[in-house]
Structure 1
Amino acid sequence: MHTRVRTRKTWPTALLAATLLATATAGCAKEDDPKATADPAKARTIKPVEGCAENGWTDPADLAPDRAPARCDKGAPAPQKLKKKRKITVATGTVSAEYVAPLQMAVEKGEFAKEGLDVEVKVLPTPDALPLLAKGDIDAQWAAPEAAVMNGINGGFTIKWVASNYSSDPKSRSGLWVRLKDGQSAKHVPMAGRTLGTMIGKGSVIAYPMSKALKKHGGGLDKVDFRQLGSADVLTALQNGGVDSAWLLDPVWRKVDGDEKYAFLGGQPQGEPLGGLLFGPNLLQRDPDAGVAFLRAYIRTVNTYFAGDYKKDPGFVTELAKLLKIEESVLKSTPSLRMDWEIRSGTTDRLQAAYREAGVAEGKPVPEKKAVDRRLYAEAVGHKP
């Protein structure tokens, strides 16, 4: 697997949107290709897939927190090797986070190769990768429908969210933590006017669950003072009084869990993934066969290696820690993620409402049908919409 690391600073949302729009002209020549405007849903035959018929699809409208994610049998859907080998480049912001594990494992175990895909993973920050995805210089992005993505789609780019990644285990307390003042109860912590430390800006998908948690306590994205900090500084700032509250990720929240000085206010919605795979024009329009093959390999990897509580297998934990280059003890310190390739109905609407509240949305809200495409993973599991 090949990776390339860049250290360019994150661009403000408005600047990124302007840059995306500026790249449209550069990509127009490719869009003139008749094949580039093909609709992946037209003239495509969806056949039943062995091992996926019973539980390989769930109703996107099911938002129950205890919803069981879709699952096929181990090893399903079976590979369908393309006649001609394709080179696919996928960008990701990191290769060490647990939510990237299925992508990493699919490369490591040769699941993409079984489909006739030569997948190269490049480490690129989302702001760097988005213009490349829109122009077709890379094929896919392991990211999320963040504000910059939605603003780019609003500007006319062919980028769609085509598969999800995970939701948190109910036992996880990754999310918004606050330092309690004397006499305060964890049941109600006045959040309006307080400082909030996060390494994730207002334009991240985390704005959605953060908004929900804040509103339960009299706050809101427009009523708190955001302090963007480095990943190593968020917890320190919360503990030393630099900020009143902070969004703590796995496994950092373990440092304050159980301490009566802190309260957990809420995290990612149960059963609702907020990120995953973004496809650009290459896999959506020019070569949807390769797009389906990519998703087939990803889904097979989830079903084979991440179907349940994968951390119960000590040998697999050792293998996973080595692959992600993190300590086994760190990996074991948090519950297994609930890997989930399906996209829930209305998620992009709820995300955009949070972006608008935070003041980072540009233009009119993007309709779900323009931002989400479930048809390729439906084909991969043999589901006829």
Structure 2
Amino acid sequence: MPITSQIRTKKTWLGVAAASALALSLAACSGGSSTAPAADEPAPAGNGKPEISELIVGITPVADQASVYIAVAEGFFEEEGLTVTPQPAQGGAALVPAMIAGDIQASFATYPSFLLAQAGGIDINIVAEGVRGNEESNGVWVKADSGIDSINDLEGKKVAVNTLKNTGELTIKVLMDEAGVDVSKVQFQELPFPDMVPTLQSGGVDAIWVVEPFQTAAEASGAKKLFANFSGPTDGVPLSGLGMTAEFVKANPNTVAAFIRAMEKANALLAENPDAAREIVPTYSSTTPELAAKLKLPKWVAGAASAKNLEVWNDIMVDQGAISAPVDMDKMVYVPGK
């Protein structure tokens, strides 16, 4: 069944293509301790003192990931006995391998990065949700005078995404399939978010996929939005979340439970008052307060990550050939004490 029918019934170390292979080669050095329970044993409930109090969390400096900085600024981590240091990168395709290597303890990434690692043989636990995709907060942009007026006009063109075979490319392909575009005639090119607008303006690519704050920068440059890639069959799809290696989770259940509690407080705050993101984004990106005031924000939701909600990524990634078979989402999503 095509992905559109299935859905309707319901930032720079490595590229994504190498992530699964790297995951396999780094399995022996993933970020846990030698005292982790056996693979088939559940982690304890995690109600005690954190086993590890200092964590490095990999992030991409975009508006979607404001919750980590909110949790730091509001003292939510500190209340749980944790010291969390965000570490920026180009995207989840770089962060997940770094997490597997033990360089960082958690990564904030779009879900395909986690599924690619899982499909490659490394057990990943999704511990907290990030944001949901919507029509306002990201999309594909072109130069106003490009002559590109619809998704069909992208045949034969170069489209830049921050990481290949990940959220931008996959969701664009879903919409291209629906529109009857010959995807084989579209060239996807990897480009860091900060380079997107300048490369579009110089003619290096024909279209760019950007999220905030880079989308507002694209608009300010005179570019036009061609379409929102979280629209139609992909509207409301969970966009990003926080993951850890299953080995780290099993070895440090108290730390992980404390981390989850802090992140859920931050998500609840942003779900109720998303404008809080406008104040925090300039503190971790090059966004000015004036630009932040114009951002079109994603959707934050309160509560825990849900395997049921994330199952759509199995549909998308299998349908688009990113993974050969679905992964066990119930196994991936971690709930303390479950």
Q: TM-score range by the shorter chain?
A: 0.7 to 0.9
Aligned partner letter, 1:264? L
Aligned partner letter, 1:353? V
1:323: Cα distance to partner? 5.7
**8 Å Cα contact 1:211/1:354 also seen in 2:** no
**8 Å Cα contact 1:213/1:266 also seen in 2:** no
1:107 lines up with 2:72 in the alignment: yes
Superposition pairs for residues 303-314 of structure 1, below 5 Å? 303-304=268-269, 306-311=270-275
How far, CA to CA, are the matches of 1:144 and 1:197 in structure 2?
A: 19
How far, CA to CA, are the matches of 1:210 and 1:366 in structure 2?
A: 22
**8 Å Cα contact 1:106/1:298 also seen in 2:** yes
Aligned partner letter, 1:373? V
Q: Deviations over 1:218-267 (max 9, x none)?
A: 32543311233343443344445543332133244446659999452222
1:20 lines up with 2:20 in the alignment: no
Q: Secondary structure at the match of 1:112?
A: helix
Aligned partner letter, 1:145? Y
1:165 lines up with 2:130 in the alignment: yes
1:159: Cα distance to partner? 0.9
1:34 lines up with 2:37 in the alignment: yes
**8 Å Cα contact 1:177/1:264 also seen in 2:** yes
How far, CA to CA, are the matches of 1:97 and 1:182 in structure 2?
A: 27
- Of 294, 302, 305, 1:342 maps to 305
Aligned partner letter, 1:367? D
Structure of greater Rg: 1
How far, CA to CA, are the matches of 1:28 and 1:213 in structure 2?
A: 37
How far, CA to CA, are the matches of 1:129 and 1:97 in structure 2?
A: 14
Aligned partner letter, 1:177? W
Map of 2:55 onto structure 1: 89
Question: In structure 2, do the counterparts of structure 1 residues 160 and 240 end up closer, same or farther at CA, with 3 Å as the change threshold?
Answer: same
How far, CA to CA, are the matches of 1:118 and 1:197 in structure 2?
A: 39
- Structure 2, unaligned runs of 5 or more: 1-10
Map of 2:88 onto structure 1: 123
Question: In structure 2, do the counterparts of structure 1 residues 349 and 190 end up closer, same or farther at CA, with 3 Å as the change threshold?
Answer: same
Q: Secondary structure at the match of 1:279?
A: strand
Aligned partner letter, 1:144? T
Aligned partner letter, 1:327? T
Q: TM-score if structure 1 supplies the norm length?
A: 0.68
Question: In structure 2, do the counterparts of structure 1 residues 261 and 230 end up closer, same or farther at CA, with 3 Å as the change threshold?
Answer: closer
- Structure 1, unaligned runs of 5 or more: 1-6, 46-79, 380-384
Q: Secondary structure at the match of 1:146?
A: helix
Map of 1:64 onto structure 2: none
Question: In structure 2, do the counterparts of structure 1 residues 302 and 93 end up closer, same or farther at CA, with 3 Å as the change threshold?
Answer: closer
Q: Secondary structure at the match of 2:167?
A: coil
1:211 lines up with 2:178 in the alignment: no
**8 Å Cα contact 1:321/1:331 also seen in 2:** yes
How far, CA to CA, are the matches of 1:182 and 1:135 in structure 2?
A: 43
Q: Deviations over 1:37-83 (max 9, x none)?
A: 5313xx749xxxxxxxxxxxxxxxxxxxxxxxxxxxxxxxxxx7x43
Q: Secondary structure at the match of 1:375?
A: coil
How far, CA to CA, are the matches of 2:139 and 2:120 in structure 1?
A: 32
Q: Secondary structure at the match of 2:254?
A: helix
Aligned partner letter, 2:126? W
How far, CA to CA, are the matches of 2:333 and 2:248 in structure 1?
A: 12
- Amino-acid identity (%): 19
1:326 lines up with 2:296 in the alignment: no
Corresponding residue pairs, total: 320
Aligned partner letter, 2:139? G
**8 Å Cα contact 1:134/1:281 also seen in 2:** no
**8 Å Cα contact 2:137/2:297 also seen in 1:** no
Aligned partner letter, 2:271? A
**8 Å Cα contact 2:53/2:82 also seen in 1:** yes
State the Cα RMSD in Å: 3.8
Aligned partner letter, 2:117? G
Map of 2:335 onto structure 1: 375
